[in-house]
Amino acid sequence: MSDRFIWLQDGLVIPMAAVEALLAVENAGHRITIDGDDVLIEPRGTVDADDLQQLRKWKQHVLLLLRYTPSDHHLRDSTITAPAVGPIVRRIS
């Protein structure tokens, strides 16, 4: 399990390892899409075996991330406040 997380709007929490797995494949020039419960890779050359292994490991989180659509209503309407992102963190001294 990853020990680092990304907090997105509406309480969605994704392990950083899932984001890194997705970005590694995209940064290598491959296109990633979803079809139902499948992650599809449109390869531009050979896909690294380690990258595929990480995508498989984090598939459920990658699917959540690819389906995620943040709200941008607060950017177009000044009467709407921006949604909270991230946990409330308090420093304990």
Q: Judge whether residue 16 has pLDDT over 70.
A: yes
Lowest mean pLDDT among 4-13, 16-25, 62-71: 4-13
Residue-level pLDDT at 7: 85
Residue-level pLDDT at 63: 96
- The pTM of the full predicted model, rounded to 2 decimals, is 0.75
Q: Judge whether residue 29 has pLDDT over 80.
A: yes
Residue-level pLDDT at 34: 93
For residue 59, the Cα-to-chain-centroid distance in whole angstroms is 11
Q: Rounded CA gap, 28 and 21, in Å?
A: 11
Residue-level pLDDT at 17: 95
Residue-range domain boundaries for the chain: 5-76
